């Protein structure tokens, strides 16, 4: 008997009709003799609606109370889905994140899972029950409810799969797999049958919203077979593997993009010893995620360091810098908004020099200015004007032949 973790996103459980459909799919899996743990998100746009309610009452609600509020969305879903399963004759039980034993660090709004005490889940599985777990949430060592950040239900699912030693984890969503780019904006985007963990991790970190980056990290670290497929059909989706066996000669396998990027520049009168470490240690302590970093120290030019962040972190970042200006020793800051990040990803880039040059040349031909650049062995990212984001994405998708099936 195999164990399977099935995760359903908000669209898949967006109304009672879809919840019934999900329940039927779960029952079909149990009929095959599988032990099932289901992880669900809040219904439809529930999380957004809850955030709007909070904003009506406070411009800056406490992070603790936001976690208390947002965690309720998934609790509605687990209760309704469990009711549907029971009504259809399937013995099932619902668990909140903390009832499922999910322990997190003491960080509100974006906590990381530290461990899972799966005693209650094992007892329920051994009793023949389907377990329905609220994704996106857990509890810290002080008994405080925490949430895992946007997309955290993916992380919940893969972490549980690792904890209970599941044979596989299936992520059901409103798309039928992982595409070479977002098919809503790139008409020639094509579904990939296989993708490596490393490639998916880069795509997830670079703006592809299909999977949460931490979920991919868990899958890679614990070698969990992971598939992304549609909850609306029986069609096979995309399988994540350590080393794909198909389309291996595709150098670039995906183009990702992310809007609402801000570039912040911190300038000094003179080079400040340890400035990089001080700035980014200070930001890290406030859980501000910094992306691309560029330092400039040249004769006759004011020394500075520039970095990119998401627009949602802008106000907090500026406040942290201002509060620590004396300790950090900088003279001034300035910023540029209206930017976006576009990236190409592919494990084949390691053994194929010239990919970055090809990317930059195509952007030059398209008349798109490049503000910042970041590279790794399997990706190249550029920060460009947000007005050029989709133009760049489509151009690069065409440049690297991603619409054509590689054999």
Residue 316: domain span = 255-399
Tell me if 119 is assigned to some domain.
yes
* 213-221 helix and 152-163 helix, angle to the nearest 10 degrees: 20
Query: Can you give the pLDDT at residue 272?
Result: 61
**Of 156, 145, 133, 141, which is closest to residue 68 (Cα–Cα)?**
145
Give which of 305, 281, 282 is closest to 293, Cα–Cα.
305
- Kindly state whether residue 108 falls inside one of the protein's structural domains: yes
Kindly state whether residues 160 and 13 are assigned to the same domain: yes
Pair 142, 279 in one domain: no
Residue 233 has a pLDDT of 87
Residues 261 and 150 in one domain: no
For residue 275, what pLDDT is reported? 66
* pLDDT for the residue numbered 295: 87
**Listed residues 155, 174, 193: the one ending a domain:** 174
Whether residues 126 and 273 fall in one domain: no
Among candidates 163, 49, 76, 147, which has minimal Cα distance to 106?
147
| d(C-alpha 287, C-alpha 305), whole Å | 19
Domain count, the chain: 2
Q: Are 137 and 96 in contact (CB under 8 A)?
A: yes
| 293 bridge partner residues | 307
Q: How far apart are CA 131 and CA 166, in angstroms?
A: 13
Could you say which of 174, 204, 219 is where a domain stops? 174
Note whether residue 359 is domain-resident. yes
Does any domain span residue 63? Answer: yes
Q: What are the pLDDT digits (tens) for 109-144?
A: 999 999 999 999 999 999 999 999 999 999 999 999
CATH at 169: 3.40.1160.10
Residues in the chain: 407
Evaluate the CA torsion angle 21, 24, 30, 31 in order and state its sign.
Answer: negative
Tell whether 133 and 40 lie within a shared domain.
Answer: yes
Position 237 in a domain = no
Q: What is the pLDDT of residue 274?
A: 57
- Domain membership flag for residue 193: no
Indicate whether 47 and 150 sit together in one domain: yes
- The H-assigned helical ranges of 286-330 are 314-323, 325-328
- For 142-198, the pLDDT digits (tens) are 999 999 998 899 999 999 999 999 999 999 998 899 999 999 999 999 999 999 999
Cα 325 to chain centroid, rounded:
32
Q: Which of 141, 174, 207 is the last residue of a domain?
A: 174
| Same domain for 283 and 166 | no
Mean pLDDT by 10 residues, the chain (407 residues): 94 97 97 97 96 96 97 98 98 98 96 97 98 98 95 95 96 92 94 93 88 91 93 90 77 95 91 74 90 83 90 94 90 95 93 92 98 94 98 97 77
> Are the C-beta atoms of 159 and 7 separated by less than 8 Å?
no
Which residues sit opposite 262 in a β-bridge?
309
In a domain, 308, yes or no: yes
Q: Are residue 151 and residue 274 in the same domain, yes or no?
A: no
| CATH code, 278 | 3.30.2130.10
- 319 domain-assigned: yes
pTM beyond 0.75, yes or no: yes
């Amino acid at each position: 008997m195999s164990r399977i973790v099935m995760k359903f996103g908000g669209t898949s459980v967006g109304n009672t009709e879809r919840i019934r459909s999900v329940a039927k799919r779960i029952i079909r899996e149990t009929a095959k003799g599988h032990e099932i743990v289901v992880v669900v998100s809040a219904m439809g746009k529930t999380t957004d609606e809850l955030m709007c309610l909070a904003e009506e009452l406070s411009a800056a609600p406490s992070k603790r109370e936001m976690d208390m509020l947002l965690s309720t969305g998934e609790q509605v879903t687990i209760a309704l889905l469990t009711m549907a399963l029971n009504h259809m004759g399937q013995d099932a039980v619902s668990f909140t994140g903390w009832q499922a034993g999910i322990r997190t660090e003491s960080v509100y709004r974006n906590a990381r899972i530290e461990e899972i005490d799966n005693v209650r889940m094992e007892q329920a599985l051994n009793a023949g029950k389907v377990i329905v777990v609220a994704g996106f949430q857990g509890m810290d060592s002080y008994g405080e409810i925490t949430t895992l950040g946007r997309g955290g239900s993916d992380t919940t699912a893969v972490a549980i799969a690792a904890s209970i030693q599941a044979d596989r984890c299936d992520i059901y969503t409103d798309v039928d797999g992982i595409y070479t780019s977002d098919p809503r904006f790139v008409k020639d985007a094509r579904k990939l049958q296989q993708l490596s963990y490393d490639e998916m991790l880069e795509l997830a970190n670079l703006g592809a919203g299909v999977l949460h980056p931490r979920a991919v990290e868990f899958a890679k670290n614990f070698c969990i077979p992971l598939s992304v497929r549609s909850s609306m059909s029986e069609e096979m989706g995309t399988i994540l593997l350590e080393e794909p066996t198909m389309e291996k000669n595709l150098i670039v396998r995906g183009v990702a993009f992310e809007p609402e990027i801000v570039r912040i520049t911190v300038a000094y009168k003179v080079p400040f010893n340890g400035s990089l470490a001080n700035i980014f240690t200070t930001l890290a302590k406030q859980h501000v995620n910094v992306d691309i970093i560029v330092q400039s120290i040249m004769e006759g030019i004011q020394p500075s360091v520039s970095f990119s962040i998401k627009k949602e972190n802008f106000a907090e970042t500026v406040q942290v810098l201002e509060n620590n200006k004396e300790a950090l020793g900088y003279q001034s800051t300035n910023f540029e908004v209206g930017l976006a990040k576009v990236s190409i990803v592919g494990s084949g880039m390691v053994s194929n020099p010239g990919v970055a040059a090809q990317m930059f040349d195509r952007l030059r031909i398209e008349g798109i200015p490049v503000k910042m650049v970041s590279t790794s062995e399997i990706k190249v990212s550029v920060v460009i004007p947000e007005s050029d984001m989709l133009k760049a994405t489509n151009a690069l998708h065409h440049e690297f032949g991603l619409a054509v099936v590689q054999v």
